[in-house]
């Protein structure tokens, strides 16, 4: 029933239901990476044979990633992860503009996008944040209404990391390009597709985007490696200066094992995408139906149709997420909260607040994200455990939401 991981406090296996946070590296991915830690360790920039092995591995990975994204190999930039890819798209493009530009983001973007936009706002660019509906979805017309006569960068995530909401990126791209053609301005469209990989199509031509970010560790690849699709012809300044690797766009000796792992993980995720979606949707729907029946007052925050298939996001009134997570962890279940915790305070998720949720209800939110190996038995055990934890906490006044 349970995932083959050891619990921190015992030898018992745990049920891992936090795949939207990170995933274990698949054996096939690790096998592909291992040679580049040992005998094929050469620096790809050197000229001798073992360096050629590394260089060829990068070239092959780039070609295969480009095939998944339906783009040119020259449009693939390997990065240190999704956060770097997001920053590179926003800061790298903004720095090429001679005049202040509009930076249009949504209220529910990942902090990698939000904070990158805030940083370049200090350089004189104008950040505009568009609202979302109660499910976390952006209305493309809200993006359109904020396009003016200045150059613009639009960064709207493909799918939300907390509630799984899916945005209409092709329509946003269509609106942006039409506006740019009519006004004679430059409008660049970036989408953070980190959560979408392995769940949604990644064809950049169909999406119509100029930039797209991915991260390996969300799809059973290694941490610390990602991809930025950068459309040919769009100017971008590098964030990292140095030896000029990645066609002068991202300097530094390439992380060859990571790049190989990114490629292997992405190919597996794409090949198994439809199967994964069918499996996790059934598991998630079973969970939501059962938790609604077993836990009084639970609210489901996923859009009933326009949502990633593997994410179940719920709120339980009168409780905080952290005590519930600790109770679940004690029972061997890994999930995550709708709140971001610091050493001093617990703040509700900006995503949930942007969806119009009250602070109290947002603090009582949980995300369960299922994987390819999640089972119906995992669901049944988890729902029973959650019901027990909720019953226990509701009997403890000190645990009520502040």
Question: Catalytic amino acids?
Answer: 341
- The token duo for 152 is 């613009």
Map residue 40 onto helix, strand or coil: coil
298 DSSP 8-state letter: -
d(CA 117, CA 105): 8
Map residue 330 onto helix, strand or coil: helix
Distance between alpha carbon 377 and the CA centroid of its chain, in Å?
27
Map residue 311 onto helix, strand or coil: strand
Map residue 342 onto helix, strand or coil: coil
- The token duo for 345 is 């305070």
d(CA 69, CA 12): 40
Q: In this structure, are strands 365-369 and 311-315 parallel, antiparallel, or unpaired?
A: antiparallel
CB 18 within 8 A of CB 334: yes
- The token duo for 253 is 């000796």
Report the half-sphere exposure of 150 (CA within 13 A, side-chain side): 18
CB 47 within 8 A of CB 279: no
Map residue 127 onto helix, strand or coil: strand
d(CA 17, CA 334): 5
The burial of 9, by beta-carbon neighbours within 10 Å (0-12 exposed, 13-18 middle, 19 or more buried), is given as: exposed
d(CA 198, CA 219): 7
For 40-137, strand residue ranges (E) read 76-79, 102-106, 126-130
- The token duo for 355 is 């969806």
Sign of CA dihedral 384, 385, 386, 389: positive
364 DSSP 8-state letter: T
């Amino acid at each position: 029933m349970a995932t083959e991981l050891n619990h921190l406090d015992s030898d018992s296996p745990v049920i891992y239901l936090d795949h939207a946070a990170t995933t274990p590296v698949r054996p096939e991915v690790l096998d592909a990476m291992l040679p580049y830690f040992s005998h094929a360790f050469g620096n790809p920039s050197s000229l001798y044979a073992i360096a050629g092995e590394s260089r060829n591995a990068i070239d092959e990975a780039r070609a295969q990633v480009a095939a998944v994204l339906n783009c040119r190999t020259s449009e693939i930039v390997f990065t240190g992860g999704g956060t770097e890819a997001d920053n590179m798209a926003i800061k790298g493009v903004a720095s090429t503009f001679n005049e202040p530009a509009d930076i249009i983001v949504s209220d529910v973007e990942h902090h990698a996008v939000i904070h990158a936009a805030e940083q370049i706002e200090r350089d004189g660019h104008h950040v505009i944040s568009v609202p979302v509906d109660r499910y976390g979805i952006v209305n493309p017309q809200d993006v359109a209404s904020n396009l003016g006569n200045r150059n613009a960068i639009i960064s709207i995530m493909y799918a939300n990391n907390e509630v799984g909401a899916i945005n209409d990126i092709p329509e946003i791209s269509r609106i942006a390009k039409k506006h740019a053609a009519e006004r004679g301005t430059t409008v660049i469209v970036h989408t953070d597709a980190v959560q979408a990989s392995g769940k949604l199509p990644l064809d950049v031509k169909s999406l119509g985007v100029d930039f797209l970010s991915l991260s390996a560790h969300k799809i059973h690849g290694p941490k610390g490696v990602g991809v930025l699709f950068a459309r040919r012809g769009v100017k971008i300044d590098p964030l990292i200066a140095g030896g000029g690797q990645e066609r002068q766009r991202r300097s530094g000796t390439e992380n060859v094992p990571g790049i190989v792992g990114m490629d292997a993980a992405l190919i597996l995720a794409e090949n198994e995408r439809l199967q994964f979606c069918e499996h996790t949707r059934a598991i998630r729907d079973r969970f939501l139906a059962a938790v609604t029946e077993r836990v009084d007052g639970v609210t489901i925050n996923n859009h009933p149709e326009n949502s990633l298939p593997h994410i179940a996001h719920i709120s339980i009134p009168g409780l905080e997420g952290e005590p519930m997570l600790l109770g679940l962890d004690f029972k061997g279940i890994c999930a995550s909260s709708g709140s971001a915790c610091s050493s001093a305070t617990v703040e509700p998720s900006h995503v949930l607040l942007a969806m119009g949720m009250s602070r109290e209800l947002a603090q009582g939110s949980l995300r369960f994200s299922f994987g390819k190996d999640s089972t119906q038995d995992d669901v049944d055990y988890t729902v029973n455990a959650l019901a027990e934890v909720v019953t226990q906490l509701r009997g403890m006044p000190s645990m009520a939401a502040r």
